[in-house]
Chains A and B, each alone.
Chain A
Amino acid sequence: MAFVFSYIPGQTAGTLISGNGEFIVRVPFAFDDETGDVYSIVGDFAVFPGGGELEFEFGFKVIRASPEFEQIDEIFWDGQATMPFLSDRGHRAMVLGELFEILRFLIVKIRPQRLVMMTHTANLPKRALVKFQKLVAVMREEGLDARKTDSWNGRHIWIAIR
């Protein structure tokens, strides 16, 4: 495998799609020059159980897909799982920076009344939680009152309201 990081900050076009109560933004950042697989950072707003109008759950993931077969091959929820191909610290920082811009875009575009965000894995290491704290900072910069509530069984939740 030859992983080629081809993302250019501020110049890589993203795509927004919506449906099923979701708003999904996808920005490609790399490809494999042997298999042709493409890697993207994806952030999404989705309705959550009990949520009202303009109330969403924010989620994010890295997706590996195949242009040849037009299919999604693998979805990475955990930053640790992306280390085998996204190990360069500078590249990781750029992808994280793009995730912040995706969240910012979604907040400005959709204007949610409430956002919830949570960890999916219990007992994440501190450095993984820093990423969530930075996402919370973006929510605050965009006018939301975002706060962390008590964790539960090693899982964390943040709630932001306008």
Chain B
Amino acid sequence: MATLPISREKQIELMRTAAERQEARTRVWKSDPLVKRVMSEPAPGQEKTAYQRVPLKKLG
């Protein structure tokens, strides 16, 4: 697959609007139920449980 260069004008446009793009993206994240759920899952050690998740690739 050919990868054409990004023009200098385009690079400047990307840099100029970088924060706007990130803010727009995270506005969507803050309202999306799956993203919110995933970001809110407890950290290691946060839940008092006798069990742990085991990645399926470690089974069998």
Contact = CB atoms under 8 A, between A and B. Distances in A.
A63 B30 CA distance: 11
A44 B39 CA distance: 13
Interface in B1-60: 1, 3, 6, 8, 10-19, 21-22, 25-26, 28-30, 32, 34-46, 53, 55
Nearest to A33: B46
A70 B46 contact: no
B19 A38 contact: no
B46 A157 contact: no
Interface stretch (A2-10, A99-107, A128-136): A2-10
Contacts of A59: 22, 25
B6 A159 contact: yes
A152 B39 contact: no
Interface in A51-99: 52-55, 57, 59, 61, 63, 65-67, 69-72, 75, 77
A63 B6 contact: no
Given A13-B53, A17-B35, A120-B18, A38 B41 contact: yes
A119 B19 CA distance: 9
Interface of A: 4, 6-8, 11-13, 15, 17, 19-20, 22, 24, 26, 28-31, 36, 38-40, 42, 44, 46, 48-50, 52-55, 57, 59, 61, 63, 65-67, 69-72, 75, 77, 113-114, 116, 118-121, 149-150, 152-153, 155-157, 159, 161-162
12 contacts: A7-B43, A22-B25, A24-B29, A29-B43, A49-B13, A50-B10, A59-B25, A70-B40, A71-B40, A72-B29, A153-B16, A157-B14
